[in-house]
Amino acid sequence: MAQLIKNQAVAVDAWKTLEIAEGETPETVALPAGDVIFPLAVWQARKAEIISCHKRIGLLITPDDRVEDVAADLDYFIVIAVHFPRFVDGRGYSTAALLRQRYGYQGELRAVGDVLHDQLFFMKRVGFDSYALKDGKSVDFALAAGFTPFAEPYQGATDQPEPHFRRRSA
């Protein structure tokens, strides 16, 4: 199990992520009860059904998904998980930046998958606020050092929209 960091603390993860097993399709997979993170394809195929039986809804976005496709639905989601299949696949950073900066998503934005210590700073900057740190990595060390390697970055991002040059005292 990955270890969840949320609001700069270790958190208990109440969410289950729906996995589509072999032989199942987004159209046919059984929708479990409880707090569930649904893959984007399932959400698209079964939106009405999900809304009717779930109060708290989560969404899973993988790198091949287009965030534009769910831009109009963001109010439904309490958590959006952005999947990093490998930490060197940086598409999730743009997904997060778009969700926060362009589409105004305010809910929990969670990095899942190959989430490692040395990427936490970048993730925080583009707008993630929870992190499913990969198994075997130290949560304590992540909390102590992972988010703060650099105190004052140059460029604007979600966490600080103004680049440093606009915040300089003259």
- Binding stretches for another protein (CB under 8 A): 87-91, 93-95, 97, 101-102, 116, 118-119, 121-123, 125-126, 138, 145, 149-157, 161-166, 168, 170
At its nearest, how many Å lie between another protein and the CB of residue 83? 14
Cβ-based nearer residue to another protein, 50 or 82: 82
At its nearest, how many Å lie between another protein and the CB of residue 159? 9
Cβ-based nearer residue to another protein, 76 or 122: 122
Listed residue (112, 138, 124) closest to 39, CA to CA? 112
Q: Which residues, at least 6 apart from 92, have a Cβ–Cβ distance to it below 8 Å?
A: 61, 63, 82, 83, 84, 111
At its nearest, how many Å lie between another protein and the CB of residue 102? 6
Cβ-based nearer residue to another protein, 18 or 40: 40
Cβ-based nearer residue to another protein, 55 or 168: 168
At its nearest, how many Å lie between another protein and the CB of residue 16? 28
Cβ-based nearer residue to another protein, 32 or 149: 149
At its nearest, how many Å lie between another protein and the CB of residue 2? 16
Q: Look up residue 140 and give its amino acid.
A: D
- What gap in Å lies between CA 135 and CA 30, rounded to an integer? 28
